Structure 1
Amino acid sequence: MISAKTNQNAPFSYTKRKVFNKSTIIGWSFITIASLLIFLFYFYPMAHALIMSFQSGTGTNLTFTGFDNYARLIKDPTFITAVKNTVIYLLIQVPVMILLALFLSVLLNNKSLKFKGFFRTAIFLPCVTSLVAYSVIFKYLFGLDGIINMMLMKLSLIAEPIQWLTDPFWAKMAIVIAITWRWTGYNMIFYLSSLQNIDHSIYEAAKMDGASAFQQFFKITIPMLKPIILFTSITSTIGTLQLFDEVMNITRGGPGNATMTISQYIYNLSFKYTPDFGYAATVSYAIVIMIVIFSIIQFKVAGDRND
């Protein structure tokens, strides 16, 4: 009886194993192709850049020099200036953009607001514009005889045109305004989608308990959006540390090196100055280290303390 039962179950087990093996092979075929492409175009360049950071030389004539590039990095005044500029952009632009995106998302989540679709599209639209195109437009807007100066003078807010592109302070502010204009709508969409997933009965219960709109925002909205705020803060930090297009097209890193970022310095080392790909790779890994440090800080400050 036992052997007969075993024989009856054998075809079923064989068929199940055959189907499982076939589906496994198909699944692995898709994963293998994708994994090879990711390794070829993502991980291999990262590993090669890490190896190159320990080499030095002109062009492709590189020789192993150990940690000389990293020692040079600490003493490089141009690199230190680029780091300072990038950190200034980060500390000013990211908080302003996050707060502005949060404010706009709450405003556009109001059910009584008319033409919400139009306003959402208008605010998000800068995100899909060409980086080079919008940077060139901002360069003309903030020119000495640009629209911004003309409007400010007509409103009697300034007596003479502001040197937006030639003054170190105002050049940084022009870059900050440009980045904020482009990426605020991008972060707003994340907050808006999260707000729409919050049960409205929570606000109704808080309203019945006498909570004001201010208290509802800080006691309900902010805690509910905490994971999304952390996510957008980290992604915005990464984007700002890699800032290149706006600076390159609006100020070219000037005046002097007053607006130069780390990414632009990498570009200059590779293509503008005498090519030094080894040192450029070292500077690129400095960005990686900074991203890791800032991400850890943000997780510690804004992360879940119970984790």
Structure 2
Amino acid sequence: MNPRPRGGYNARRRTSQTGWLFVLIPVLMISIFYFYPMVQAFILSLKSGRGSNLSFVGADNYIRLFSDANFITAVKNTFIYLIVQVPIMLVLAIFIAVLLNDDRLKFKGFFRTAIFLPTVTSLVAYSVVFKYMFGPDGIVNKFLLNLHLIQDPIQWITDPFWAKVTIIIAITWRFTGYNMIFYLSSLQNIDKSVYEAARIDGAGAITQFFKITIPLLKPIILFTTITSTIGTLQLFDEVVNITKGGPGNATMSISQYIYNLSFEYTPDFGYAATVSYSIVLMVVILTMLQNKIGGDKR
């Protein structure tokens, strides 16, 4: 019997080696630029000191979080943004997506582009525009005064309550269109015959929305809720450029506090890394909760 030819084996081996080479390169890059900095940041969070003069303190930085008034204030502010803004933004995104998915609507391309455009605007540029719009002599106060809805200009930037409202309006304006795209793409994948069958059975528009649209959008709603939660916990640009965390620390976010610890106050990079890892912990806990509540029980 002739020996088994090895040409096919060698070809498969070369193909396998080539495939592993293509996989190895991105794995190596991800490890160097993603996982290695994460490990180094965690090691840094176990140290404390001024500037680069750091010494190992173990879990002291993590214990310090619970007695740090500035950190607690930043967490409270961030969770106010999260609890108020994220539901409003997602409801608006779903509502707009349903409207733009209507076949009877004209100029749909224009409206979709207009609503999505805020997402691609510069964070700094739009934050500065909002700062001037909501200033004491800004267009928002002038508009409300002309309509006689207010007697005196609202201190949108310098009042603790209204400053938070301004931040919430700004991030809602920017990211509603981003989430709307996800819902719109999902709506376009729903078979029209499902709605036609529901109309034949006598279901109205509201019933169709709650009994068909929302259940079919459930995976996307969960996805956008998680991504919006992560984005809000990392909120930085709007707070820094609109209110600078003020008045006082009334609008300071966790990310701004990390920046302050690193560059505004006496540099304490170890404690700043600890606060950064607190965001990681919050993201993990909230993501698990959201998956538990809204995920597929199967």
Residue matched to 2:240: 248
Equivalent of residue 281 in structure 1, options 264, 273, 278: 273
**Offset of 1:36 from its aligned partner?**
1.4
- Unpaired stretches in structure 2, ≥5 consecutive residues: none
Equivalent of residue 209 in structure 1, options 188, 201, 204: 201
Q: Distance in 1 between matches of 2:235 and 2:78?
A: 8
Residue matched to 2:19: 27
Deviations 1:134-161 (A, max 9, x none): 1111111111100100111111111110
Equivalent of residue 231 in structure 1, options 223, 244, 249: 223
Deviations 1:63-90 (A, max 9, x none): 1101110111110000000000000000
* 2:229 alignment partner AA: T
Residue matched to 1:67: 59
Residue matched to 1:153: 145
Task: Using the TM superposition, name which of 38-47 and 246-255 deviates more.
Answer: 38-47
**Offset of 1:31 from its aligned partner?**
1.7
Q: Does 1:259 align with 2:251?
A: yes
Moved over 2 A (4+): none
Deviations 1:258-283 (A, max 9, x none): 00000000000000000000000000
Q: Distance in 2 between matches of 1:48 and 1:210?
A: 61
Residue matched to 1:76: 68
* 2:130 alignment partner AA: F
Deviations 1:192-249 (A, max 9, x none): 0000000000000000000111110001000000000000000000000000000000
Secondary structure of 1:290's match? Answer: helix
Q: Distance in 2 between matches of 1:276 and 1:44?
A: 21
Residue matched to 2:95: 103
* 1:44 alignment partner AA: Y
* 1:120 alignment partner AA: R
Residue matched to 1:54: 46
Residue matched to 1:116: 108
Alignment of 1:118-157 (within 5 A): 118-157=110-149
- Unpaired stretches in structure 1, ≥5 consecutive residues: none
TM-score between the two structures when normalised by the length of structure 2:
0.99
Q: Distance in 2 between matches of 1:25 and 1:144?
A: 66
Secondary structure of 1:75's match? Answer: coil
- Number of residue-to-residue matches in the alignment: 298
* 2:133 alignment partner AA: L
* 1:133 alignment partner AA: A
Residue matched to 2:213: 221
